[in-house]
Amino acid sequence: MKFKRVVVTGGAGFIGANYVHYALNVHTDWQIVVLDKLTYAGNLENLESVMDQIEFIQGDITNPVDVHRALRGADAVLNFAAESHVDRSLMDPSVFVRTNVEGTLVLLEAARKEGVKRFLQVSTDEVYGDLHGSDHHSLETDPFRPRSPYSASKAGAEHLVFAYGISYGMDVVVTRGSNTYGPYQYPEKIIPLFITNALEGRPLPLYGDGSAVRDYMHAQDHASGIDTVLHLGASGEAYNLGAREQISGVQVADAILAALGKPSSLKRFVVDRPGHDYRYSVDPSKAEALGWVRRYSFGQGLRETIEWYMQNRGWWQRVRAKKEHQSLMQAWYEQR
C-alpha cells in the first residue's frame, strides 16, 4: 500500500514524534501533516529539527473544524493523539474519555467523509488487562479487560475503529504496543522519571514492592512496527507490538542507578497505584509475520536513552520546571 499525504495526530508527543522522525527517514516522498493540540505532553521541541519538512497544525482531535482542515487530501491517518498517563487518568478520567474516545470518533467521521484510504489507531497492550499470576502472552484474539480509566478509554476507541471498519467499509488497522521508552518521553513515565530523578539525586518512586513487570520496547522499534502495520497489515485487524521482554520496576531502577553510578538507596518504595496491573505481556508474532524486525535489546535501548537524557538536559529541565509537571509530582508522589 502506498501513501503520499499522511496525517499524524499527536506528532508532538513522545511516540508520535519518534514516528515522524522515523517516517521522514524511510518515506522521503511523503507529505506529513502533524495535528497536535500541544497539551502539557506535546512539545514542539520534539519536532524542531524537522519543522521545515512537515506541516504542523495546532488543533484538537475533538474539534471537527481542526480535524477536517488536517485531513483534507490525506490518504492515511495515524492516530497517536491521546491522554496517555495512567496516574493522571485516576485523578481526572473525563479528559481521557473526551480525547481518547470522542476524539477518535471525530477523526473516524472526518476520515470517512474525506475518503482517507487507511486509518491506523495506535492502541496499547493495556486493553488486555492484568496478566498477574499467569505466564500467558496476550494474543490479538484475547478479550479486553481494561482496568484503568486510561485503558478503558483506549479500548473504547478501538471498538469505534473496528465498528467504522465494519459499518462503513473503512480500511482500519490497530496496533497494540507495549510500554515504550526512548528520546522525547515526558518525564512522568517510569523510565524518564527515574533517569531524570537519578541525575538530580532525587528518589526513584517504585509502586508497592516494585515487582510489576512490563515489556519495554524502544520508541524506534514501536515506530517501525506501526509503519509495518500501516503498509502491510490486513484491513480490520489488530497487531500486538512488543519486545518479548519482562522487566520489573526494580530492575529498571537498578539498571539506571548502575549506569549513572548512583546509590541503590535512591530507590523509594511508595504506596501502590490503585488497581495496579502487575503484568502485561503481548505475543508479537502476528506483526513479526509481516516482516517487522526490532533493532533494540533493552540493555542497548536503555543505554542510548540514558545518554539522550544526559545530552538533552535543557529539554527535560524545561519540562520539569513547568507547573503541570510539578503539580502532578506533588499531588501524586508526595502523598505516598
Question: Binder to ligand NAD among 6, 8, 32, 42 (CB under 6 A)?
Answer: 42
Which of 84, 196, 197, 281: binder of ligand NAD (CB under 6 A)? 84
Report, in Å, the least distance between residue 76 CB and ligand NAD: 16
Q: Which stretch binds ligand NAD (CB under 6 A): 13-21, 161-169, 268-276, 295-303?
A: 13-21
**CB-facing half-sphere around the CA of 16: CA atoms within 13 A:** 36
Work out how close the CB of 324 gets to ligand NAD at its nearest, in angstroms, rounded to a whole number: 11
Per the annotation, the verdict on 126 as an active-site residue is: yes
User: Is residue 14 part of the contact set for ligand NAD (CB under 6 A)?
Assistant: yes
| Closest of 319, 308, 230 to residue 38, by C-alpha | 319
- The minimum distance between CB 29 and ligand NAD, in angstroms, equals 25
Q: Residue 282 Cβ, how far from ligand NAD at the closest point, in Å?
A: 10
Give φ, ψ of 110 to 5 degrees.
-70, -40
Say which DSSP state 138 is in.
Answer: B
- 324 catalytic per annotation: no
37 sits near ligand NAD (criterion: CB under 6 A): yes
Pick from 30, 56, 128, 186 the residue near ligand NAD by CB under 6 A. 186
| 57 φ/ψ angles, rounded to the nearest 5 degrees | -120, 120
**Distance of alpha carbon 145 from alpha carbon 155, whole angstroms:** 9
DSSP-assigned letter for residue 312: T
The CB-of-33 to ligand NAD minimum distance in angstroms stands at 12
Strands 54-58 and 31-36: parallel
205 has which bridge partners? 268
Q: How far is CA 272 from the centre of its chain?
A: 22
**Bridge partners for 160 per DSSP:** none
- Active-site residue flag, 125: yes
Pick the catalytic residue: 60, 75, 126, 245? 126
Of the candidates 16, 187, 205, 242, which one interacts with ligand NAD according to CB under 6 A? 16
CB of 47 to ligand NAD, least distance (A): 10
Alpha-helical runs (H) found in 186-264: 190-199, 219-232, 249-260
Task: Select which of 60, 66, 125, 188 is catalytic.
Answer: 125
With respect to ligand NAD, which residue has the nearer C-beta, 62 or 228? 62
Q: Where does residue 241 fall: left (phi above 0), alpha (psi -120 to 50 degrees), or beta otherwise?
A: beta
CA distance 179 to 244: 11
Q: Among positive and negative, which fits the CA dihedral 160, 163, 165, 168?
A: negative
Interacting stretch for ligand NAD, rule CB under 6 A, among 137-145, 162-170, 173-181, 246-254?
173-181
Classify residue 141 as exposed, middle or buried by CB count within 10 Å of its CB (0-12, 13-18, 19+): exposed
CA dist 112 and 154 (Å) reads: 20
Determine which residue in the list 32, 47, 86, 103 makes contact with ligand NAD, applying CB under 6 A: 103
Residues 111-130 within binding reach of ligand NAD (CB under 6 A): 122, 124
CB nearer to ligand NAD: pick between 126 and 171 = 126
Contact between 138 and ligand NAD by CB under 6 A: the answer reads no
| Residues in 213-272 at the binding interface with ligand NAD, rule: CB under 6 A | none
Are 32 and 55 contacting, i.e. CB atoms less than 8 angstroms apart? yes
* Total chain residues near ligand NAD (CB under 6 A): 30
Q: Is the dihedral of CA 227, 230, 234, 237 positive or negative?
A: positive
Residues contributing to the site for ligand NAD (CB under 6 A) = 9-10, 12-16, 36-39, 41-42, 60-62, 80-84, 99, 103, 122, 124, 154, 177, 179-180, 186
- Kindly list the catalytic residues: 125-126, 150
